[in-house]
């Protein structure tokens, strides 16, 4: 599954990933429940589930239970695979309002939220979370058991504490431990660094009813850097319908992404979304930081495209990536 990532998990990225063969489910970037109900100017872009609406999971963020339930009920009417609630975002501005990781401060408050939303949502209802404010597995387990009791269908765990941001290694061993205590499926997420790792972890997953591991895997930053990673992992698993892509044309991929952004995102979002994307995608290049600096100076998508062309003219050997 593609992870929810603000300014990244939108239609243009889904189109790009689908072009390489796709993944099973695409979580959207977090959508503010309040802004959605209030009819914010860009909401139609946030809830555009194309090109594969049935495999999209809408993620909501908010602190007001009534607002979240209302927004969830609205999205539940759309074709989608489910509704996810953000209980993991640890940005101080979000947590301060009681949203994101703020939900993990109180089992009762979060339990009441799930009970309320469950009454309004027929499709799969999930949450994505971190371990919590502290490294306390027992608290995490009690928290998830309560949400399961209130009707939750799936939990995705990024096994770091809220404070850790992206520091320390994620504690992947918590995922099978949590799974052993719940009846609902548990997905794992955090620092999957290569198609090889994704395939290896998938092989250790639930395919053969293996009780010890995880039910699904979620990939974030690696899927921005390498939108072909799902196809590559499937090919490594030996899926007959998925030939290994072989050679990736990075220049063409970058240009295609810029075209998709222009086509499917509002003008006001173009620069921020392009910069976010290239912050990860450029890590495929030898002179990654140099290229990012150059791209960040540009103020239009077409100037970014020209800058990339100039780079690949100077370094033609960089335009193609052999997998
Ligand atoms: C730029 C960025 C934006 C993110 N936005 C969200 C978000 O909107 N909702 C969410 O639940 N997690 C968000 N995350 C966390 C990711 O979903 C994921 O848990 C995290 O990146 C770890 O996975 P990875 O190592 O595969 O990237 C974001 C992460 C990044 C890097």
Q: Cα separation of 159 and 221, whole Å? A: 16
State whether the beta carbon of 163 lies less than 6 angstroms from ligand 1: no
Ligand 1 centre distance from Cα of residue 240 (Å): 31
Could you tell me if 264 and 222 lie in one domain? no
Contact 131, 104 (CB under 8 A): no
Report if residue 2 sits inside a domain. no
- Integer Cα distance of 10 and 270 in angstroms: 12
**Secondary structure (3-state) at 113:** helix
Residues 209, 307, single domain; the answer is no
Indicate which residue's Cα is closest to atom 23 of ligand 1: 190
d(CA 322, CA 272): 29
- The response to whether residue 164 sits with its C-beta less than 6 Å from ligand 1 reads no
pLDDT along the chain (323 residues), means of 10: 98 97 97 96 97 98 98 98 97 95 97 98 98 96 98 98 93 96 97 95 66 88 98 86 82 98 98 98 97 97 97 95 93
Residue whose Cα lies nearest atom 13 of ligand 1: it is 5
Cα 247 to chain centroid, rounded: 25
Structural domains of the chain, count:
2
Dist CA 62 CA 117 (whole Å): 13
pTM of the model: 0.96
Rounded distance between C-alpha atoms, residue 275 and residue 273, angstroms: 5
Q: State which of 237, 260, 295 marks the end of a domain.
A: 237
What pLDDT shows up at residue 80?
Answer: 98
Check residue 240 and give its pLDDT: 64
Residues 19 and 106 placed together within one structural domain of the fold: yes
Q: How many CB atoms lie within 10 A of CB 166?
A: 10
Please tell me the distance from the alpha carbon of residue 154 to that of residue 96, in angstroms, as a whole number: 26
Separation CA 169–CA 177 (nearest Å): 17
pLDDT attached to residue 224: 98
pLDDT for position 204: 80
Residue 275's Cβ-count burial label (10 Å; 0-12, 13-18, 19+) is middle
> Which pLDDT score, from 0 to 100, does residue 92 have?
93
> Cβ(146)–Cβ(138) under 8 Å?
no
- Between the CA of 75 and the centroid of ligand 1 the distance, in Å, is 21
Instruction: Report CA Rg, the chain.
Output: 20
Distance of CA 3 from the midpoint of ligand 1 (Å): 6
**For ligand 1, what atom is nearest to the CA of residue 84?**
11
Nearest CA, atom 7, ligand 1 = 5
Q: Whose CA is nearest to atom 18 of ligand 1?
A: 220
The dihedral built from the CA positions of residue 57, 90, 61 and 122, taken in this order, carries a sign that is positive
| pLDDT at res. 239 | 73
Domain range enclosing 309: 247-322
Question: Looking at ligand 1, which residue's alpha carbon is closest to its atom 10?
Answer: 4
- Distances from the Cα of 58 to the Cαs of 47, 69, 150, in angstroms? 7, 13, 20
Residue 1 placed within a domain = no
- Do 260 and 220 fall into the same domain? no
CA–CA separation, 276 vs 180, rounded Å?
37
Last residue of a domain, one of 237, 263, 281: 237
Give residue for tokens 């309560």: 146
Task: Pick the atom of ligand 1 nearest to 218's CA.
Answer: 26
Q: For residues 26 and 55, is the Cβ–Cβ distance under 8 A? A: yes
Same structural domain, 233 and 252: no
Residue identifier of the C-alpha nearest atom 2 of ligand 1: 5
Q: State how far the Cα of 90 lies from the Cα of 105, in Å rounded to an integer.
A: 12
Ligand 1 near 59 CB (within 6 A): yes
């Amino acid at each position: 599954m593609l992870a929810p990532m603000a300014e990244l998990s939108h239609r243009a990225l889904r189109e790009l990933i689908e072009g390489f063969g796709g993944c099973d489910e695409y979580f959207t970037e977090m959508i503010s429940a309040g802004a959605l109900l209030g009819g914010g100017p860009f909401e139609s872009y946030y809830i555009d589930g194309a090109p594969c609406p049935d495999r999209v999971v809408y993620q909501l963020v908010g602190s007001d239970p009534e607002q979240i339930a209302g927004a969830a009920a609205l999205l539940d009417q759309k074709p989608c695979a489910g509704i996810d609630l953000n209980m993991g975002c640890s940005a101080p501005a979000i947590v301060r309002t009681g949203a994101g990781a703020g939900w993990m401060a109180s089992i009762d408050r979060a339990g009441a939220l799930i009970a309320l939303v469950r009454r309004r949502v027929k499709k799969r209802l999930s949450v994505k979370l971190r371990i919590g404010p502290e490294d306390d597995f027992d608290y995490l387990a009690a928290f998830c058991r309560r949400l399961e009791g209130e009707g939750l269908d799936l939990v995705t765990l990024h096994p770091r504490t809220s404070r850790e941001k992206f520091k320390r290694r994620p504690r992947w061993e918590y995922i099978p431990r949590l799974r052993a205590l719940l009846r609902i499926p548990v997905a794992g997420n955090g620092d999957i660094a290569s198609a090889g790792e994704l395939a290896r972890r998938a092989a250790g997953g639930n395919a053969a009813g293996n009780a010890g591991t995880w039910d699904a895997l979620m990939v974030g930053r690696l899927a921005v850097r390498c939108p072909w990673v799902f196809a590559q992992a499937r090919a490594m698993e030996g899926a007959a319908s998925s030939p290994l892509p072989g050679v990736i044309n990075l220049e063409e991929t970058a240009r295609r992404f810029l075209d998709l952004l222009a086509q499917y995102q509002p003008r006001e979002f173009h620069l921020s979304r392009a910069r976010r994307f290239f912050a990860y995608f450029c890590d495929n290049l030898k002179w990654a930081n140099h290229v990012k600096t150059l791209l960040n100076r540009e103020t239009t998508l077409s100037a970014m495209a020209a800058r990339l062309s100039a780079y690949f003219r100077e370094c033609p050997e960089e335009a193609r990536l052999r997998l």
